[in-house]
Amino acid sequence: MVVIAAGAMVLDGQVARPGWLETDGGRILACGAGAPPRPADADFRDGTVVPGFVDMHVHGGGGASYTDGPTDSGGIAGAADFHLRHGTTTTLASLVTASPAELLARVRALAEATDHGTVVGIHLEGPWLSRARCGAHDPAQLRDPDPAEIDAVLDAGAGAIRMVTLAPELPGAEAAIQRLVDAGVVVAVGHTDAGYEQTERAIALGATVGTHLFNAMPPLHHRDPGPALALLRHPGVTVELIADGVHVHPAVVQAVIEAAGPHRVAVITDATAAAGRGDGTFRLGAVTVDVVSGVARVRGTSTIAGSTATMDQIFRTVHAGAGLAVAAQTTSATPARALGLERVGSLRAGYQANLVVLDGDLRVAAVMTAGRWRLGG
């Protein structure tokens, strides 16, 4: 058993100053505000302890990518380890649009990584997306949802596919939403040119997530509100925001949190292999990406191609506008709930002992997963 104390600790969504928790067998045995019941094994008097970050939309980092094929499984582990060092203790690995054969190979590789506990599952961002709103996806590989392909992908995933982003206006999309929901997969609306009513219909069929709200979808218009307003208005929908200061203005991040509530906003990195690597040339699936001054764009265009952010950076951005409790909620508890993850995303008795220790500047000082120090401690 290990007792951890800190000057501030976010326990079950509430800020305790000071706070403590006790771990045993990879889980949190007990926790509370004030001084611990016995001397702490690790005392971070000037630090802040928050739940381990849950990134539900991330393509890679540290030069490695979740789109690496089955012969490059070390790249999958490398990407997960890079983000772990930045506080992400739970990763949903995102794939981009690919050919049918490449998609199945990548799903199988990530299903194996899921079995090993490297990631918590797979997010398919594509190939069933709008060509008009393809963003950094290869438009040549985009296609309409096909029942046979969906079944093949689900079989290849062997239960590891947790979320699929699709455009609900595509032919066959309604049947696809129903098939995925029946399979226990979270359906997200994104990379879409859908109207307000089409989006409402997708929600009625079971879609529960809005993929990177505002990005790769029509802008909000007072006579044609589009998908963003439909996603924002529905109480059963969780909306993602890429709070990297590039994709969405910080004032918009704050406004969405105030409008929808932090329990419905999941901030994400949408990071690619370029995260942590500085400026240069990278690949996102089949697309060439140039990073200049920390911003990734599809070569020769102004199209943003994922981000170079990490979850600790995202946490600091939200904290600056909304405070500690909201930052912890939107980086941990909300994405965990949106994905249906049990006993993850909060520091409370019975939950996994996944936590991040932040220093006085809210930078990562230590990381624990399942009761084991993985960094610092």
Residue 8 lies in a domain: yes
> Alpha helices, DSSP H only, in 7-85?
73-84
Q: Is 304 annotated as a binding residue?
A: yes
Residue 66 lies in a domain: no
Q: Is 191 annotated as a binding residue?
A: yes
- d(Cα 260, Cα 247) in Å, to the nearest integer? 19
Q: Is 125 annotated as a binding residue?
A: yes
Based on the fold, state whether residues 231 and 335 are members of the same structural domain.
yes
Q: Is 174 annotated as a binding residue?
A: no
Residue 289 lies in a domain: no
- Is 270 a catalytic site residue? yes
Mean pLDDT of the chain, nearest integer: 96
Q: Is 136 annotated as a binding residue?
A: yes
Based on the fold, state whether residues 47 and 105 are members of the same structural domain.
no
Residue 236 lies in a domain: yes
Residue 278 lies in a domain: no
pLDDT of amino acid 74:
58
CATH number (domain holding residue 181): 3.20.20.140
Q: Is 258 annotated as a binding residue?
A: no
Query: Which pLDDT band holds residue 71 (cuts at 50, 70, 90)?
Result: very low
Based on the fold, state whether residues 33 and 108 are members of the same structural domain.
no
- 290 strand-pairing partners: 281, 297
**pLDDT for 292-348, tens place per residue?**
999 999 999 999 999 999 999 999 999 999 999 999 999 999 999 999 999 999 999
Contact partners, residue 139, CB within 8 Å, separation at least 6: 131
Q: Is 40 annotated as a binding residue?
A: no
Angle formed by the axes of helices 100-115 and 73-84, nearest 10°: 60
pLDDT of amino acid 69:
55
Based on the fold, state whether residues 330 and 371 are members of the same structural domain.
no
Based on the fold, state whether residues 329 and 359 are members of the same structural domain.
no
Catalytic residue among 224, 270, 359, 361: 270
136 touches 287 (CB < 8 A): yes
pLDDT of amino acid 36:
97
Residue 281 lies in a domain: no
Domains held by the chain: number? 2
Residue 73 confidence (pLDDT) above 50? no
Contact partners, residue 254, CB within 8 Å, separation at least 6: 321, 322
**pLDDT for 252-282, tens place per residue?**
999 999 999 999 999 999 999 999 999 999 9
Based on the fold, state whether residues 21 and 166 are members of the same structural domain.
no
Based on the fold, state whether residues 27 and 149 are members of the same structural domain.
no
Based on the fold, state whether residues 131 and 19 are members of the same structural domain.
no
Based on the fold, state whether residues 122 and 166 are members of the same structural domain.
yes
Q: What would the DSSP string read from start to end of 102-134?
A: HHHHHHHHHHHHHHTTSSSEEEEE-SS--STT-
Return phi, psi of residue 174, to 5°.
-65, -45
Q: Is 215 annotated as a binding residue?
A: yes
The Cβ of residue 288 has, within 10 Å, a number of other Cβ atoms equal to 13
CATH number (domain holding residue 44): 2.30.40.10
Based on the fold, state whether residues 335 and 349 are members of the same structural domain.
no
Residue 65 lies in a domain: no
Q: Is 249 annotated as a binding residue?
A: no
Q: Is 83 annotated as a binding residue?
A: no
Residue 119 lies in a domain: yes
Based on the fold, state whether residues 350 and 332 are members of the same structural domain.
no
Based on the fold, state whether residues 325 and 363 are members of the same structural domain.
no
Range of the domain at 119: 79-270+309-339
**pLDDT for 188-214, tens place per residue?**
999 999 999 999 999 999 999 999 999
